Amino acid sequence: MLRTPSMRMALAAGVALVISACQDQPNPISPDPRDVAVSTQRSAQGGGLPSVDELDRQIPGFGGFFIDRNGEPTIYLARGASRAPAERALGAYMAARGQSAAALHVREGRYGWQQLQRWQDAATDGAFGVNGTVYVDNDETTNRVHIGVANIGTTGQVRAAIKRLGVPDDAVIVDQVEPIVQVATLQNVIDRPVRAGVQINFPGFLCSVGFNATSGGTKSFITASHCTSRQGGVENTPYFQPLQSVNGTVIAREVADPVYTNCGGGRICRFSDASRAAYVNGANQALGRIARTSGANNHSLEIVGSFTITADDCTTTLGGCLAVGTTINKVGRTTGWTAGTLTNKCVNTGVAGSRIVQLCQNFVSAGVGGGDSGSDVFQVVSGTNVKLAGLLWGGSSAGNLFVYSPFANVVRELGALTTH
């Protein structure tokens, strides 16, 4: 998992720790620095990106929208479809980016968005019946349903399974990808009040504070559901910061963590890997603050200041309202501040070694490591002001891709949250 076993527990058990992107030894001395149906609603806000449902309603022949590698807003339209409705629907969004609607790049799409969404839902049921399926995505960048498998040898089984459910073979891409594992290290600083991104310790493991939030007047922080004594369900997990051995005062206890529900085929599902812990002393909450290191992707764990959350991503749309191709950031206790591109959106994602499928999750091509679970995920708006995008919970074993639950998914399951 992308949570990290604590040193004391590992020594007591007399076991060797396996070091991977999701399991990393903490250093307690040095201050080094789960419903089943997936909704596709994604809402527009002002000059923000319209929801895919809105785009589909307004644009005949719509097949997907994303930002390409050159930073160009790109849309799939069916052959013969006019670009004029697309320019009208995306005009405010383009203007907010400092671009004219004429800069919209059009690619010919073979399939309509809603058809692909129906096939994604069907393919999810079929593909996850084959051991080793990693994810099923309605891929904006290819105008296809994209299925990732851990073993390319299972491709035939996957294709046969989804064909039986009516998904045409040429509408699907199947390729080999790394399994997604849960990532349960800014590490040993005693941070008061507590900012997002710093290390927390719960019995046996290390994770990161995702973001501070107030719920129903209760000052809290959000972290990953698997950063609790048991994933899904409330066991009143106690939290220490940075380590119980450094400061034995309990700073918070778990108070909200929805149970995972049966979603067929022996799987259990939720829309977010998120839980809420209430501070014992509300003065310890640094609402709207994320610990900031010296720079993105430079491997520094030294805190030099703070980011300030000034806005949240939309709350009414599963998957969020940030476009594929957007630059996304996170700060976590193991790999610090990393940034990369939002590559896949609203992906049904299997958790390696478990029955869990996290529904409608987002992928980012950025660094991640063990202990980063629970990290804040955000978009830089200007300077040190940021928009909260969600909560990191997993990533690839190579440590070059992280997975997060969008903010809307977290709110769906934990209720309304005040973050700044």
Query: How many whole angstroms separate alpha carbon 201 and alpha carbon 35?
Result: 31
Instruction: Report CA-CA distances (Å) from 292 to 24, 63, 118, 329.
Output: 21, 38, 41, 11
Considering the segment(s) 34-178 as one domain, its CATH architecture is 2-Layer Sandwich (3.30)
Biggest CA pair distance of the chain: 68
Strand, helix or coil at 120? helix
Q: Which residue bears the tokens 């450094």?
A: 246
Supply 364's token pair.
Answer: 């980012």
Beta bridge partners of 139: 144
> Is residue 193 reached through a cis peptide bond, with omega within 30 degrees of 0 on the bond before it?
yes
Query: How many whole angstroms separate alpha carbon 4 and alpha carbon 345?
Result: 27
The whole-chain average pLDDT of the chain stands at 89
Confidence at 210, pLDDT banded by 50, 70, 90: very high
Query: How many whole angstroms separate alpha carbon 316 and alpha carbon 54?
Result: 13
Left if phi > 0, otherwise alpha if psi is -120 to 50, otherwise beta: which for 264?
left
Check residues 195 and 97 and name the one with the higher pLDDT: 195
What is the tens place of the pLDDT at every residue in 157-207? 999 999 999 999 999 999 999 999 886 546 878 999 999 999 999 998 999
The pairing of beta strand 199-202 with beta strand 205-208: antiparallel
Query: How many whole angstroms separate alpha carbon 395 and alpha carbon 45?
Result: 29
CATH assignment of 4-30+181-414?
2.40.10.10
E strand or H helix at 409, and its extent?
Answer: helix 407-414
What is the tens place of the pLDDT at every residue in 318-356? 999 999 999 999 999 999 999 999 999 999 999 999 999
Supply 242's token pair.
Answer: 């940075």
Confidence at 13, pLDDT banded by 50, 70, 90: very low
Instruction: Report CA-CA distances (Å) from 327 to 349, 363, 412.
Output: 21, 11, 24
Q: How far apart are the first and last CA of the chain?
A: 29
Quote the DSSP letter at residue 173.
E
Supply 199's token pair.
Answer: 């290390």
Confidence at 404, pLDDT banded by 50, 70, 90: very high
What is the tens place of the pLDDT at every residue in 223-270? 999 999 999 999 999 999 999 999 999 999 999 999 999 999 999 999
Query: How many whole angstroms separate alpha carbon 222 and alpha carbon 243?
Result: 18
Confidence at 392, pLDDT banded by 50, 70, 90: very high
Lowest mean pLDDT: which of 97-101, 104-108, 330-334, 341-345?
A: 97-101
For residues 358 and 270, the answer to whether their CB atoms sit within 8 Å is yes
Residue 27, pLDDT above cutoff 50: no
Provide the strand spans (E) within 128-232. 133-139, 144-149, 172-176, 180-182, 194-196, 199-202, 205-208, 211-215, 218-223
Supply 311's token pair.
Answer: 């806005």
E strand or H helix at 378, and its extent?
Answer: strand 376-382
Query: How many whole angstroms separate alpha carbon 134 and alpha carbon 148?
Result: 5
For residues 65 and 323, the answer to whether their CB atoms sit within 8 Å is yes
Domain boundaries, the chain: 4-30+181-414, 34-178
Global pTM? 0.83
Q: How many residues does the chain have?
A: 420
User: Cα angle vertex 367, ends 301, 278, to 5°?
Assistant: 65
